[in-house]
Amino acid sequence: MERFEPNMLNGYITYSYEDVSLNNRQYRIQYFQEEHQDEYLICEYQNTEVSGSCELYCSGVLVQSWEEVHGRKQGLVRKYEQGVLKYVINWKDVFGYGEFRCFENTPQGLRLIIVNRDNGVVVYRGEYDSEESMKRVGSGFSYDRETGDLRSYGIYRNDSLFQIIHSFTNDGKMITFQTEDGISNVEIQDRYPIYSGGCCYCEEDGIYVRDGVGYVLDKSSGIATSEEVWNRGIQGSRRKLYNGLYKKEGESVSLRQVLSKQMKRQLTVKQHSDLSSLSSFVTQLVVDENCCNEEDIMTLELSGLAKLQSLVIKSYNFANTYRFTVFGCNELSRVEIGDCCFCHWKGPKELCSRDAALSISNCKNVSSISVGCHSFVDYIHCSLVSRGRPRTVVFSTPSF
């Protein structure tokens, strides 16, 4: 991990120094001897102690800079190679435990890198939220903690991997997955590959692109539909495949395709028929905005979904539904309902109550319930019964 850690000047033997006054500021130029005779340190001084900027030079080339207050190192230290900024490190991380975090200067700007302190291997390189918290947020690469081999590229939220865009095999192949906004695919059952093949790193954009021979995959079956040749992200020749065969030999269906609906853990509902046979594997259920408003959709019951953890119903849904029941979903922890759901409300002059009811019961792990404006505004019954007690219940005004 030596290339990341700042130079602590251990083993430096001081030689002579010069004190310089300029524009009401005091500076000291400290020279060294023996193997460090080509180096010198310039520091700002106040009242005979280092307080301000410090810069270390080798043969006149800036090597490292940092700040000190009353002789104590504080804030960030910057390491340079051949005068080019390489790493930005927080002093407090140098003396910490666990993972070592710092920033790397790249053509795309500063990027967070996380290092396995035990062996110096980089385990993450990518975007972050702020210099203070140094959390993984945005796109980034992950690497094997022991070997440093590239493993995946994806989207991070609150310092955790949320979505995998590419994974990388030991023989240098790249697998690309279909992604959907707001839906995680970290679980292996939720990954739908659309490409497998060669790749190369694009320095200009800081990402991997298709390169060489690769195969376009049917996301449902996982079987190749075409063989393609790429040159640094630009498609060249293409050959059609038939269920993975170069010559058509009849039809077949993979077991993954047969069980695709049952294996799906995250489901986005875009029409009412999507709710007709929910898989018991579903952990996250999202109803897209402005759907399921047909007049014959009068009831909605979600029961016995043993794996369901999150239920999100976006705005303007279920306008004609007068019974909404959630029952026996023991892993359900979050219920979020957007604006103007489960209501006929068109404006204050047209509001009238109807014999409609919301019921959430026997869902012992529910910790958060939020309801948007005007949702359930013409309902007259609301029942929340559970052995657990939600920590957060928010009903926006007006509702109920």
User: Looking at the predicted structure, is the pLDDT value of residue 119 above 50?
Assistant: yes
Of 199, 233, 260, which one is at a domain's C-terminal end?
Answer: 260
What would the mean pLDDT of 368-378 be, rounded to a whole number?
90
Of 54, 81, 108, which one is at a domain's C-terminal end?
Answer: 81
- Domains contained in the chain, number: 3
> Quick check: 334 and 310 in contact, CB under 8 A?
yes
User: Looking at the predicted structure, is the pLDDT value of residue 396 above 80?
Assistant: no
Are residues 178 and 268 part of one domain?
no
User: Looking at the predicted structure, is the pLDDT value of residue 359 above 50?
Assistant: yes
Rounded Cα distance between 54 and 252, Å, is: 70
Range of the domain at 178: 169-260
221 lies in a domain? yes
Looking at per-residue confidence, does 392 or 185 come out higher?
185
Q: Provide the pLDDT for residue 345.
A: 62
Cis ω on the peptide bond leading into residue 398 (within 30° of 0)?
Answer: yes
Rounded Cα distance between 31 and 42, Å, is: 9
Q: What phi and psi, each to the nearest 5 degrees, are found at residue 55?
A: -140, 130
Q: Provide the pLDDT for residue 349.
A: 46
What would the mean pLDDT of 62-73 be, rounded to a whole number?
95
Name the 3-class secondary structure at 101. Answer: strand
User: Looking at the predicted structure, is the pLDDT value of residue 301 above 80?
Assistant: yes
Rounded Cα distance between 341 and 321, Å, is: 9
For the record, the structure tokens of 79 come out as 């390491």
Are residues 366 and 335 part of one domain?
yes
Residue 233 gets the label, from left (phi > 0), alpha (psi -120 to 50) or beta, of left
Please identify which residue in the block is written with the tokens 């892993």.
331
Single out the residue of 297, 296, 290 nearest to residue 316, CA to CA.
Answer: 290
Q: Provide the pLDDT for residue 2.
A: 62
Query: pLDDT by residue (tens digit) across 205-224?
Result: 999 999 999 999 998 889 99
Looking at per-residue confidence, does 182 or 107 come out higher?
107
Are residues 306 and 218 part of one domain?
no
SS3 readout for 2-49: CCCCCCCCCCCCEEEEEEEEECCEEEEEEEECHHHCCEEEEEEEECCE
Are residues 325 and 269 part of one domain?
yes
Are residues 309 and 273 part of one domain?
yes
Q: Provide the pLDDT for residue 211.
A: 98
User: Looking at the predicted structure, is the pLDDT value of residue 232 above 60?
Assistant: yes
Are residues 315 and 221 part of one domain?
no
Name the 3-class secondary structure at 358. Answer: strand
* 204 exposure class (CB count in 10 Å sphere: 0-12, 13-18, 19+): exposed
**Least trusted range by pLDDT, from 67-76, 137-146, 166-175, 360-369:** 360-369
What would the mean pLDDT of 116-129 be, rounded to a whole number?
94
Exposure string of 340-376, with b = 16+ CB inside 10 Å and e = fewer, is bbbbebeeeeeeeeeebebebbebeebeebbbbbbbb
User: Looking at the predicted structure, is the pLDDT value of residue 111 above 90?
Assistant: yes
> Quick check: 326 and 332 in contact, CB under 8 A?
yes
Are residues 273 and 252 part of one domain?
no
Which are the contacts of 363, defined by CB distance < 8 A and separation ≥ 6? 326, 327, 328, 329, 330, 332, 386, 388
User: Looking at the predicted structure, is the pLDDT value of residue 1 above 70?
Assistant: no
Are residues 283 and 180 part of one domain?
no
Q: Provide the pLDDT for residue 76.
A: 92
11 lies in a domain? yes
Which are the contacts of 94, defined by CB distance < 8 A and separation ≥ 6? 5, 6, 77, 100
Rounded Cα distance between 201 and 107, Å, is: 13
What would the mean pLDDT of 81-89 be, rounded to a whole number?
95
User: Looking at the predicted structure, is the pLDDT value of residue 17 above 90?
Assistant: yes
3 lies in a domain? yes
Query: pLDDT by residue (tens digit) across 127-148?
Result: 999 988 899 999 999 999 999 9
**Least trusted range by pLDDT, from 92-106, 288-302, 324-338:** 92-106
Alpha-helix runs per DSSP H in the chain: 91-94, 255-258, 260-263
Single out the residue of 73, 80, 75, 86 nearest to residue 57, CA to CA.
Answer: 80
Number of other CB atoms surrounding residue 97 within 10 Å: 7
pTM: 0.67
Are residues 298 and 210 part of one domain?
no
What would the mean pLDDT of 187-212 be, rounded to a whole number?
94
**Least trusted range by pLDDT, from 100-104, 137-141, 200-204, 305-309:** 305-309
Are residues 196 and 302 part of one domain?
no
Q: Provide the pLDDT for residue 346.
A: 60
70 lies in a domain? yes
22 lies in a domain? yes
46 lies in a domain? yes
300 lies in a domain? yes
pLDDT tier at 395, thresholds 50, 70, 90: confident
pLDDT tier at 398, thresholds 50, 70, 90: low
* 317 exposure class (CB count in 10 Å sphere: 0-12, 13-18, 19+): buried
Looking at per-residue confidence, does 140 or 256 come out higher?
140
Q: What is the mean pLDDT of the chain?
A: 89
Q: Provide the pLDDT for residue 250.
A: 72
Are residues 294 and 235 part of one domain?
no
Looking at per-residue confidence, does 232 or 258 come out higher?
232
Looking at per-residue confidence, does 265 or 86 come out higher?
86
Of 81, 105, 128, which one is at a domain's C-terminal end?
Answer: 81
Are residues 362 and 296 part of one domain?
yes
97 lies in a domain? no
Residue 98 gets the label, from left (phi > 0), alpha (psi -120 to 50) or beta, of left
**Least trusted range by pLDDT, from 72-81, 88-97, 134-143, 384-393:** 384-393
